[in-house]
Amino acid sequence: MGRRNSHPLTPWQELEEQAYHAYREWPLFLKLRLRHLRAHLPREWFERKVDKPPASESSGTSTPEQLAADIALLKEYGLFVPEGTGHG
């Protein structure tokens, strides 16, 4: 997606644009990072100390509700690409 006007950005405007995109992508980055950590670290590290986590959170597989939440997050930030559409 290109820029709408053809005027070059000043260094300050470029920095501001990068910061805006980083701010929008941060929740997605956190979600993906947590998923990555859950896949590679022991389950005990993610168990709540105060009370037991719901069964759907403690299992290693994603539930339909979790997948729907992930898809909603991707759609919210305009990053959802359905499988099979490809990028080429």
Query: Structural domain tally of the chain?
Result: 1
Confidence band of 88 (pLDDT split at 50, 70, 90): very low
| Residue 48 belongs to domain spanning | 17-76
Is residue 7, in this structure, part of any structural domain at all?
A: no
Give whole-number Cα distances, 16 to 5, 9, 54, 85, in Å.
16, 10, 41, 32
- 55 in a structural domain: yes
Higher pLDDT, 30 or 84: 30
pLDDT band with cut points at 50, 70 and 90 for residue 72: confident
Q: For residue 85, is it within any domain?
A: no
The answer to the question of residue 8 being in a domain is no
Residues in the chain: 88
Q: Is the per-residue pLDDT at 40 higher than 80?
A: yes
**Cut 0.75: pTM above it:** no
Average pLDDT over residues 81-85: 62
Confirm whether 2 is domain-assigned: no
Considering the domain boundaries, does residue 71 fall inside one?
yes
Report if residue 87 sits inside a domain. no
Whether residue 48 is predicted with pLDDT greater than 70 in this model: the reply is no
